[in-house]
Amino acid sequence: MEATKPIPATTPTISNVPPTKRSGWRKWLVAPSDPARRAVWKVAQIYALVVAYSGVWILLRSSGVGGAPFAPGSSIALVLLFAVGTAHVMLRILLTMRRGGYGETHGSPTGWLHTAIDLTLVAATVRVTGGSESGIWLLFFVIVVAESVLEAASAARWVRVGVAVALLAAMVPLPVTGGAWVLDYLTRLVFLSAAGMVAQRLRINAEREKSELAALRAEMSLLQERASLSREIHDGVGNALAASVLRLEVTARVMEKGGDTETPVTLREEAQVLRGAMNDVRDWTFFSKPWGADESDAASVADRLAQEVQRLSRRTNLPMRVVGAEQLGNLRGGAARLAVLRIVQEALTNAAKYAGATEATVMVEIENGFLTVAVRDNGAGFDPATLAPGVGMASMRERAAALGGTLTIESKPGTGTGVIARFPLS
């Protein structure tokens, strides 16, 4: 088995600083540190404000403020609608926060069900509070803008169709007498659609700018890696090789003069130094430029990754396997693949040195437009909250964030550890 040497530019330290845990009402007043939950928190504030104002508006209008009171018997229906609407908004916020953000539920059957319930409740409330004369119809703007920002383009179009149907159900007079209401309906529908399309365009522009910024950061990271590699070769391997050459030249001259008892010892020492330098060069070569220009297809990427993981397994004496490596072919650009490989390298090195594991697995999957790389071991596990900050964890998080992705740690004492990185494919 080859001698194990630490890989430069990587600090094999497992550490995690979780967001500050808050309980009770305080967690609704302070924004979470996790980006996905922070987005939910911000939208939740808007929804809560809208629901609260709707309740005040219904209460005032029921008292005759701002117009004639509602029809007799409508109060019970309004109380019921408001209660159901409030409960649904709170349930939706709770579910999306537990699942990690709006991106986890939007576009799914659960997300569509939430949207359908929202539209039904608003349409029923508009109907009860006066139809076309009700000011509650403006809630459709909140729904169409929010869904256009949070949904994909194709899904947002279906949301606008749903808004059109809900608005029609809320406004059409019963029985239908004349067509004067049609112009009012079409006017509102045009403005709702325009607001949704503008919000969607703003979202697309923001995503494109975010993607371009992530690409620039990734390229800068790659340049920094190359500069670091150059320094390491000059200061580390370069110096070791130069010193070995000098000692070997001296040894050769001694042997020419008859040799001595120290010559074999010197040769063994220098062979060990050269072997370590060779291992370092192999590591740096692969992790700085893992694939050549002619190895961009999925099969080549998968084979090369599997080979390097097997080599690391032999050097650390820890059984490792790779599942789904061919999915890495969906990542575009050397910088993205480099980030994934650095994360895998760091996680496997940690598993070999600190986890006390007997096996480790690298799982690569694609789901909902994201590529997920999970490195799991069956070691002792740990409580992330008890560990001090470390460079290794910060480096992995920064690499994932530079590509618009996220990195999370799953571990408990006695259950092993999982390092999960998620990268958007678009």
**Which among 139, 125, 5 is positioned nearest to 62, based on CA atoms?**
125
Mean pLDDT of the chain: 76
Task: State how far the Cα of 47 lies from the Cα of 93, in Å rounded to an integer.
Answer: 9
Pairing of the two strands 370-377 and 360-367: antiparallel
Q: Picking from 128-137, 232-241, 316-325, 350-359, which range would have the lowest pLDDT averaged per residue? A: 232-241
The mean pLDDT value for 272-289 works out to 64
Say whether pTM exceeds 0.75: no
The mean pLDDT value for 252-262 works out to 70
Q: Which residue has the higher pLDDT, 22 or 249?
A: 249
Q: How confident is the model at residue 3, as a pLDDT? A: 38
Q: How confident is the model at residue 238, as a pLDDT? A: 62
The mean pLDDT value for 56-64 works out to 82
Name the percent of the chain in helix, strand, coil, to the closest 5. Answer: 65, 10, 25
Task: State how far the Cα of 344 lies from the Cα of 362, in Å rounded to an integer.
Answer: 8
Q: List the domain boundaries for the chain.
A: 31-171, 215-424
Q: Six-digit token pair at 305?
A: 């990754």
Return the half-sphere exposure (C-beta side, CA atoms, 13 A cut-off) of residue 426.
8
| Under 8 Å between Cβ of 104 and 114 | no
| Under 8 Å between Cβ of 163 and 74 | no
Per DSSP, the three-state class of 372 is strand
**Which among 411, 356, 364 is positioned nearest to 18, based on CA atoms?**
411
Q: Picking from 144-158, 205-219, 370-384, which range would have the lowest pLDDT averaged per residue? A: 144-158
Q: How confident is the model at residue 70, as a pLDDT? A: 75
What number of residues does the chain have? 426
Return the half-sphere exposure (C-beta side, CA atoms, 13 A cut-off) of residue 198.
8
Q: How confident is the model at residue 145, as a pLDDT? A: 87
Task: State how far the Cα of 335 lies from the Cα of 217, in Å rounded to an integer.
Answer: 9
* pLDDT above 90 for 361: yes
Task: State how far the Cα of 375 lies from the Cα of 128, in Å rounded to an integer.
Answer: 55
* pLDDT above 80 for 237: no
Q: Picking from 31-35, 255-259, 415-419, which range would have the lowest pLDDT averaged per residue? A: 31-35
Angle value at C-alpha 263, between 257 and 266, nearest 5 degrees: 140
Task: Give the tens place of pLDDT for each residue, 385-396.
Answer: 776 666 677 778
Task: Give the tens place of pLDDT for each residue, 107-124.
Answer: 567 778 888 888 999 999
**Fold of domain 215-424:** Heat Shock Protein 90 (3.30.565)
| Under 8 Å between Cβ of 306 and 389 | no
Task: Give the tens place of pLDDT for each residue, 177-235.
Answer: 777 889 989 999 999 999 989 988 888 888 889 888 888 888 887 777 776 666 656 65
Task: Give the tens place of pLDDT for each residue, 311-320.
Answer: 778 877 889 9
The mean pLDDT value for 360-382 works out to 91
**Which among 148, 139, 146, 195 is positioned nearest to 167, based on CA atoms?**
139
The mean pLDDT value for 303-326 works out to 82
Q: Where does residue 130 fall: left (phi above 0), alpha (psi -120 to 50 degrees), or beta otherwise?
A: left
Q: Six-digit token pair at 424?
A: 């958007």
Q: Give the model's confidence band at 321: pLDDT under 50 very low, under 70 low, under 90 confident, else very high.
A: very high
Pairing of the two strands 406-411 and 417-424: antiparallel
| Under 8 Å between Cβ of 62 and 124 | no
Q: Picking from 76-85, 157-166, 254-263, which range would have the lowest pLDDT averaged per residue? A: 254-263
